[in-house]
Amino acid sequence: MPTRPARRPVILCILDGVGWGRRDATDAVFMARTPVLDRLMAENPHTLLTAHGVAVGLPSDADMGNSEVGHNAMGAGRVIEQGARLVDAAIESGAIWATKAWKDVVACPTAHFLGLVSDGNVHSHVDHLRALIRRAVNDGVRRIRVHALTDGRDVSERSALTWIEPLEAELLAMSRRGVDARIASGGGRMTITMDRYEADWAMVKRGWDCHVWGVGRRFSSATEAIRTLYAEDPKTNDQLLPAFVCDPSSPVGTPLIQSGDAVVFYNFRGDRAIEISRAFSAGSVPFDRSGPSGEPAPVVTYAGMMQYDGDLRIPARYLVDPPLIDETVGEQVCQAGLRTLAVSETQKFGHVTYFYNGNRSGKFSETLETYVEVPSDNVPFDQKPAMKAAEIVDVVIRKMADYPDGTFSHFDAIRLNLANGDMVGHTGDFAATVGAMEAVDHALGRLADACAKTSAILLVTADHGNADLMFELDKAGKPQVVDGRARPKTSHTLNPVPLILVDPLREWTLAGPPAPPPTPTGAITQLGATVLDLLSVPIPACYLPSLVVPR
């Protein structure tokens, strides 16, 4: 049996949205010039890992992985039932309707349902919205309003009408039966409401003004709004649609939500739900919530689908208990007395902290943990695809350079997220995503060089796929062509993700026989035990097996 190597620093580098795709012209990862990734894979043990479906706690293998789930899985070391599955189960069992939160909602004369309308199952699912509306009517609510955020990010770029048209038809049928039900407002998820990590509070302000005060362009219906906006700008997509209001006769500033109403934010994922929840539940927000003429903000009965931040209790009222994640990697490392550095830019900072730590705000130890947030630029990601990859790696290398003797003794574990493949991939801009991958590759090269100098072990992996498939495919597996151009794919993929073990001392290797790509040999849930194994930290019994063994 090989002798266990002495502990050395371990760096977990998460290339967000970088899966293993078809390795053809649809794959921005493959088409980019990535000499560092190519070299690391050629010279070091590597494999592929599953990052979607039931392997990471999602309802089915048809469900794409995402950054929240991916970081939860890596930090938990095991399969945790995620938001989508928990909501499905609560609706199926009826437990959701027995909660005090739901009873508070249906006691109000008007119920507003705000959230993302698609079947992406990353932040929400339209079936959950339908279930909420139908049950509210059955429970006696006679005035229903939907505030519809269009997707185009976790689903096809112009697919909003797939869900909006039948939803409006169902609401119209309810109205004919005596229930005043309709879509009241809407807009694209990356234009209004769904900011995260306080990167762009102006988005939340635009959403608040639209949903609450009726500020937005007027249309007779959401269907008319979307069709008109498509026709006016053939290049726009659902995530970028401007705010609209579905009431052509009312003047701008007519309130849509009033004191005494109930508001349910039915997204289950937390990161893009916290800021709007703060606004509705009277938390502190950096914008004026009053109306155009100085009207005070309405006092409403507000509920989230889940509690999005358990430590800060945001929101206090919620319909489904969030996943309970204990014994996380971060906690185990602190209990062992080891020191951690977590680094990312704003767009993914909460992922290497909050989500990796099991949906926990704050630190396990103020003395043992250091978190560094590199501020993201507030510009469209396709305009600056390099994002902050270089600056993030600068932080890590600077910390390593503080210890030139090679002991690297200040931090035992480092985790960082390079967001480019995901954030630029979501734009659907192929050339920009190729550029993003090349920026990531250059940054990774600098990181690998620093690890070689300090004998730190480097794990290169990803949380899910995205940049690895940039075009929608037809039934024959070829890019769909619409109006003479290949139709961009802006959502995540079902592809596995790479894992590369870079050990300068060659003391560790991957466990088990390799499998030819694209066959995964494990799942990202096993990265928790892997990190602890490399750090010689006891692995909790609930964890899935480590992916590494001593040589």
The pLDDT score that the predictor gives to residue 250 is 86
In this structure, the answer to whether residues 421 and 489 fall within a common structural domain is: yes
The pLDDT score that the predictor gives to residue 408 is 47
| Structure letter (DSSP) for residue 314 | B
Could you tell me the residue range of the domain that residue 269 belongs to? Answer: 84-320
Token pair recorded at residue 345: 């830019």
The pLDDT score that the predictor gives to residue 1 is 62
Output the 3-class SS for 131-188: HHHHHHHHCCCCEEEEEEEECCCCCCCCCCHHHHHHHHHHHHHHHHCCCEEEEEEEEE
Which of 291, 320, 349 delimits the end of a domain?
320
In a domain, 349, yes or no: yes
Q: Which of 60, 67, 118, 546 is catalytic?
A: 67
In this structure, the answer to whether residues 299 and 335 fall within a common structural domain is: no
In a domain, 13, yes or no: no
Our answer to whether residue 536 is catalytic in this structure is no
The pLDDT score that the predictor gives to residue 294 is 93
The pLDDT score that the predictor gives to residue 402 is 63
In this structure, the answer to whether residues 168 and 215 fall within a common structural domain is: yes
In this structure, the answer to whether residues 264 and 387 fall within a common structural domain is: no
The pLDDT score that the predictor gives to residue 171 is 98
For the chain, list residues with pLDDT below 70: 1, 311, 402-409
In this structure, the answer to whether residues 348 and 436 fall within a common structural domain is: yes
Check which CATH number belongs to the domain holding 180 and give it.
3.40.1450.10
Distance CA 215, CA 235 (A): 24
Q: Which H or E element spans position 341?
A: strand 340-345
Per the structure, the count of domains in the chain is: 2
Residue 51's identity, in one-letter code, is A
Output the 3-class SS for 461-521: ECCCECCCCCECECCCCCECEECCEECECCCCECCCEEEEEECCCCCEEECCCCCCCCCCC
In a domain, 1, yes or no: no
